[in-house]
Structure 1
Amino acid sequence: MVAQAKSGRMTRREFVGRTTALGVSAGLASALFGKAASAQEAKKGGVLRVGMQGGESTNSLDPALAASEVPFQVM
C-alpha cells in the first residue's frame, strides 16, 4: 500500500482512508477477540485508610462525646 502511494498509483485520500480503515478494524478485532484479564482471588483482612477533612485530634467514636459530624461519618 505504501509503495502504491509513493509511486502515485494511489491518491493521498485513498491512502488515508485505507490506513484509517485498517487501524479501526485492527483495534476492533483486538477488542472483540482479546482475552480478558482474570481478577485476583479475594482475600480476607487488610487495612482501609480514609482521609477526611474537618476532623480533630480530640474527636471520639463515642456518639455522646462527638463534637462534629466526622465521627458519625466514620461509624
Structure 2
Amino acid sequence: MDFIRTVVAVTLLAVLGQAAVVTENGLPFHWDKAPSELSQLPTVDGVIQVKPWDYLQRMALYKLLINSTDPYMSSMGPGEKQ
C-alpha cells in the first residue's frame, strides 16, 4: 500500500511540476500586453490603484520591477535588452 501511495505522489508531483511552467518564448503569457509604465496603470482620484488579482496589472508590476532593477543586475548576466 505504501508503494502505491509513493507512486501516486511522485506522479502527481511530476504532473504538477510540468503544469507550473507556462511561458511564451521564455516569458509569461501576455507579457508584451502588460503595461510597462506607471502612467499606463489605472488611477482613481490621481492615485495609481493596481489590482493584484488582475493578471495584466500584476504582470505590469513585475515588468516595472525588472526594468527598474535591471541596471543593478549586470553582474547576474545579460538582461532583457541583450
> Quick check: TM above 0.5?
no
State the structure with bigger RCO (CA 8 A, min sep 6), 1 or 2: 2
Query: What TM-score results when the alignment is normalised by the length of structure 1?
Result: 0.31
Query: What TM-score results when the alignment is normalised by the length of structure 2?
Result: 0.29
Which protein shows a greater Rg? 1
